């Protein structure tokens, strides 16, 4: 049986969605439907967490020595709180190294752009999007430097980020349909489970 650790924030939990709607749970279903035995995901994530808060929690708990897969999606709250990308980079690099200490198969997802959602009405959407782009450029570079896989889910999320069927009730977080796209993206590059 394969094992899977998902690290992140509200996007990993699937805020306001049933547990099975989150992308880690949908990913597990994709694996099982393809004949791969895999345990339910172990999720270490909390709504509102920044990179340093995720790191702090990781350091306070006991995880398995290794996993067959680790996903990492974190950083939107760094941007939301007005932190700089320069501050973010060493923290995300540290989290990548932690993920690599747990698995040789690490996948980082890009940060969704909450600026395209109805929640951002009245805010500087262009500024939000530009900052998300800077964060994602840093994520992609850090992933490449560490030799891990990076998936850009932001471009697709921006196309559907203002549509009701792709949003949770708060008009900010994604719905089952958006998470399904992310799960498929990860599944499609998960040749290490073949």
Q: What does the pLDDT read at residue 63?
A: 98
Is residue 194 predicted with pLDDT exceeding 70? no
Q: Summarize pLDDT for 88-131 with one digit per residue, the tens.
A: 999 999 999 999 999 999 999 999 999 999 999 999 999 999 99
Is residue 52 predicted with pLDDT exceeding 80? yes
Is residue 190 predicted with pLDDT exceeding 90? no
Q: Summarize pLDDT for 78-89 with one digit per residue, the tens.
A: 999 999 999 999
Give how far Cα 23 sits from Cα of 96, 122, 153, 161, 169, Å.
19, 29, 12, 16, 17
Residues of the chain above pLDDT 90, percent = 97
What residue spans define the domains of the chain? 4-193
DSSP tag of 71:
E
Q: What does the pLDDT read at residue 30?
A: 96
Query: Which region among 34-38, 66-70, 99-103, 189-193 has the lowest average model confidence (pLDDT)?
Result: 189-193
CATH C-level class of 4-193: alpha beta
Q: Where does the pLDDT of residue 191 fall: very low under 50, low under 70, confident under 90, or very high at 90 and above?
A: confident
Give the whole-angstrom CA distance, residue 161 versus residue 184: 18
Among 98, 115, 15, CA closest to 52: 98
Give how far Cα 10 sits from Cα of 38, 141, 176, Å.
23, 23, 13
Q: What does the pLDDT read at residue 164?
A: 95
Q: How many residues does the chain have?
A: 194
């Amino acid at each position: 049986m394969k094992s899977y650790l998902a690290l992140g924030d509200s996007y990993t939990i699937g805020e306001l969605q049933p547990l099975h709607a989150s992308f880690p749970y949908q990913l597990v279903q994709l694996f099982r439907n393809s004949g791969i035995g895999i345990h339910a995901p172990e999720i270490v994530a909390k709504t509102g967490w920044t990179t340093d808060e995720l790191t702090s929690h990781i350091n306070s708990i006991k995880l398995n020595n290794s996993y067959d897969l680790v996903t990492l999606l974190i950083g939107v709250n760094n941007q939301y709180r007005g932190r700089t990308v320069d501050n973010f980079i060493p923290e995300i690099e540290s989290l990548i190294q932690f993920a690599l200490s747990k698995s040789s198969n690490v996948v980082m997802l890009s940060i969704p752009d909450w600026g395209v959602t109805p929640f951002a009405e009245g805010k500087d959407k262009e500024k939000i999007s530009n900052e998300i782009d800077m964060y994602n450029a840093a994520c992609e570079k850090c992933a490449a430097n560490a030799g891990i896989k990076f998936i850009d889910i932001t471009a697709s999320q921006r196309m559907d980020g203002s549509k009701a069927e792709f949003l949770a009730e708060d008009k900010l977080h994604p719905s089952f349909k958006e998470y399904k796209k992310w799960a498929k993206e990860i599944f499609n590059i998960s040749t290490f489970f073949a």
